[in-house]
Amino acid sequence: MRPRRRWLVAPIGFAAGMVLVSQVSPTRQEGLSFAQYRARVEPIFIAPRGGHGPGMSPCATCHVSSGTPLRLQPLQEDGSGGVFWSEEQSRRNFDVVSRLVVPGQPERSRLLRKALAVQAGGAPFHVGGKFFESQADPEWQIMANWVRAAGTSPDPAAAETSPPPLDFEFFRTCVQQVFLNKRQGRMECVHCHGGGSRGFARTLPEGRAFWNLEESRRNFEVLRRYVDPGYPLSSRFLTHPLAPEAGGDHFHSGGRRWFSRDDPEWQMLAAWVRGEASTCLSY
């Protein structure tokens, strides 16, 4: 085991001040081994990486109690400068981490893609930087083996199938209505996602009630970043505004729109993400 240092305990500032209620997800995915997670995967999150900042700090520096989807438990100190998580805390971490993977498919798992270099198949960006240059990285392999071992039907052909395309036409005519549609006591997406890096529901020009083709395309390009085609539960579009009790993310400044995955609107959007033909709800 590598030495672990004390400074790790202090999370860096950007997420400080957010008070989050700890909650254990009821939707932990089947097949993932807790024992293997605790022994092999979790140590990766606290391993020192020889520096500070993106690509160099231990994952836990930023991911302990932060507002990111990978929200780990606060670390404890063992009296000699080392840090650890109790078994109960590890179980909570396990619940959180499990939701960031697609059992059996490391390449499609957010946990594995986020810190992996783009040219090696990683996600386009990670505020925390890139830690793994290639999939051959030993730590990456440890995580990948854990995820792979959970595959229910090890069907390599299925794993390689390219994800279903996202239907732009359905997005334009139907999904965008969700951004505008009122629900009692809730604010519509368009009020907060009208611009900037999360602007998938651009502010409508004066006098217009819906987006034109060009604007729809731009909305689509932004929203795609929050969609993992084929996988509603790893698509932040569908998990961010979904209540944690129903399998959603722990935190969304914009609050919740869906309190159950049986909500017809959520179902409709999930079908779209899965690439299935979906019928538009009439509002």
In the complex, the residues that contact ligand HEC under the rule CB under 6 A are: 53-54, 57, 59, 61-63, 68-70, 100, 110-111, 114-115, 125-128, 131, 187, 189, 191-193, 198, 226, 236-237, 240-241, 251-254, 257
Q: Where are the beta strands (DSSP E) in the chain?
A: 76-77, 83-84
| Closest approach of ligand HEC to the CB of residue 79, in Å | 25
| Closest approach of ligand HEC to the CB of residue 277, in Å | 22
| Closest approach of ligand HEC to the CB of residue 270, in Å | 13
Tokens representing 214 are 């060009």
Q: Whole-angstrom Cα distance, residue 146 to residue 134?
A: 17
Q: Where are the beta strands (DSSP E) in 36-146?
A: 76-77, 83-84
Q: Whole-angstrom Cα distance, residue 173 to residue 267?
A: 17
Compare residues 75 and 115 and give the one whose CB is closer to ligand HEC.
115
Compare residues 3 and 79 and give the one whose CB is closer to ligand HEC.
3
How much of the chain is helix, strand and coil, in % rounded to 5?
40, 5, 55
Compare residues 157 and 270 and give the one whose CB is closer to ligand HEC.
270
Q: How far is CA 8 from CA 41, 46, 60, 212, 226, in A?
A: 18, 8, 7, 49, 30
| Closest approach of ligand HEC to the CB of residue 241, in Å | 4
Compare residues 63 and 108 and give the one whose CB is closer to ligand HEC.
63
| Closest approach of ligand HEC to the CB of residue 153, in Å | 25
Compare residues 104 and 115 and give the one whose CB is closer to ligand HEC.
115
For 51-135, where are the alpha helices, taking DSSP H only?
Answer: 59-63, 87-98, 110-114
